Amino acid sequence: MTENVTEKIIILGGGPAGFTAGLYAARAELNPLILTGMAEGGQASQTHQIENYPGFPAGVNGFELMMAFKDQAERFGARSVSDVAQEVVIRENGLFEVLGYSDKYLCRSLVVATGASPRLLNVPGEREFTGRGVSYCGTCDGWFFRDKEIVVVGGGDSALEEALFLTRFASSIQIVHRRDTLRASKILQTRAKENPKISFIWNSVVEEIRGDDGQGVNAVVLRNILTGDCTVRNVSGVFIFIGHKPNTDFLRGVVDMDERGYIEIDRFMQTSVPGIFAAGEVADPIYRQVITSAGMGASAAMQAVRYLAGG
């Protein structure tokens, strides 16, 4: 794409919010361009089974659902490019310049739906063994841990959903949580507690992940936060689900954000900059569901249509 091509609307992100914004913008004949990032479908596409998206009583595979989102948007004229926004510049003529890895893009309105990334433990061994026993996606890597003992870190919905999925492969799963109660929904708690492969290690945190260059992870050091005692448990994998960080660093200084990096929006998905809208997990630290992200994406696109029409 050349710099002299000005899009009516560019959507940053290829997850539920981005593809839904693309669908609504396409149906409004805005011919939207979607920069999907390098992983189409976002976090939702890495979820093996989504059970709470309406219209799928038996549940639906996350990747299949996101590809259906994409296909529907493209059916009405949305265009998808595998590029990642690195910077957004507001030009004096009111246009927005998006600097990607592979190209530059100009547009009159912008919807930011770049989602969020998993938070790290930031303990010794985590980065060294990422991809060699440390994982942030059970559906991506569970197969590699068939008949092995693993640890899942976290106490929310994601941690329990992934732990339950991993019971298909692992021989045993120990869920490590820094508190003595879980934040996850009651139905997930019940399923996890009733599963014979799952046990819990309460009031504990990971201090270190150990392994060797040849075999990867072979142990984890846990610290009880009440007693301070440390124990070593021999495991082959550590799956970490302790929350997410919004992917908004490229917008710092451009739009207003809170102290955690979430974009501040009004009830019309409008940011502090007229013409820039935000949807999904970049602006939603509370609900973080496929359906709420999709709804925000629809709203953002509809407001962008009004903005471009001068209303």
215-227 pLDDT tens trace: 899 999 999 999 9
Average of per-residue pLDDT values in the chain: 94
At 25, list the tokens. Answer: 């913008």
- Measured between alpha carbons, how far is 142 from 260 in angstroms, rounded to an integer? 31
Secondary structure of 254-291 as H, E, C letters? CECECCCCCECCCCCCECCCCCEEECHHHCCCCCCCHH
Q: Are residues 14 and 108 in the same domain?
A: yes
Domain-embedded: residue 127:
no
Q: Are residues 262 and 228 in the same domain?
A: no
What pLDDT score was predicted for residue 3? Answer: 55
Residue 282 maps to a domain: yes
In this prediction, residue 311 carries a pLDDT of: 62
Last residue of a domain, one of 188, 221, 240: 240
Domain assignment present for 52: yes
pLDDT value of position 288: 82
State whether 261 and 234 are in the same domain.
no
Q: pLDDT grade, residue 247 (50/70/90)?
A: very high
Residue 298 has pLDDT above 70, yes or no: yes
Lowest mean pLDDT across 67-71, 114-118, 248-252: 114-118
pLDDT at 230 over 70: yes
What pTM did the predictor assign? 0.80
Same domain? 81 vs 147: no
Averaged pLDDT for residues 266-282: 97
- If asked whether residues 188 and 279 sit together in one domain, one would say no
**What angle separates helix 290-308 from helix 16-27, to the nearest 10 degrees?**
40
| Maximum separation of any 2 CA atoms in the chain, in Å | 64
Residue 2 has pLDDT above 60, yes or no: no
Cβ partners under 8 Å of residue 119, min gap 6: 242, 243, 244, 245
Q: Is residue 278 part of a domain?
A: yes
Give tens-digit pLDDT for 46-103: 777 788 899 999 989 889 999 999 999 999 999 999 999 999 999 988 899 999 999 9
DSSP 47-93: -S-B-SSTT-TT-B-HHHHHHHHHHHHHHTT-EEE---EEEEEE-TT
pLDDT at 253 over 60: yes
**In this structure, are residues 104 and 4 in contact, taking their beta carbons and an 8 Å threshold?**
no
**Claim to verify: residue 196 and residue 231 sit in the same structural domain:** yes
Q: Which of 240, 270, 297 is the last residue of a domain?
A: 240
Domain count, the chain: 2
Task: Please indicate, yes or no, whether residues 253 and 111 belong to a single structural domain of this protein.
Answer: yes
User: Same structural domain for residues 66 and 113?
Assistant: yes
Q: Are residues 163 and 235 in the same domain?
A: yes
Average pLDDT over residues 248-258: 96
Structural domain of 220: 134-240
Which of 240, 265, 280 terminates a domain? The answer is 240
- Residues 216 and 204 both lie in one domain: yes
Give the tens place of pLDDT for each residue, 196-208.
999 999 999 999 9
> Does any domain span residue 126?
no
Mean pLDDT of 176-184: 96
User: Is 1 inside any structural domain?
Assistant: no
Residue 128 lies in a domain: no
Query: Given this model, what pLDDT does residue 153 score?
Result: 98
Provide φ and ψ at 181, rounded to 5°. -135, 155
pLDDT of residue 39: 80
- Report the catalytic residues: 137, 140-141
Token duo for residue 6: 């000005």
Question: Do 279 and 208 sit in the same domain of this protein?
Answer: no
My answer on whether 67 and 202 are in the same domain is: no
Residue 291 belongs to domain with CATH number: 3.50.50.60
Residue 17 lies in a domain: yes
What distances in angstroms separate CA 73 from CA 27, 92, 246, one per listed residue? 8, 31, 24
Tokens 């919905």 sit on residue: 157
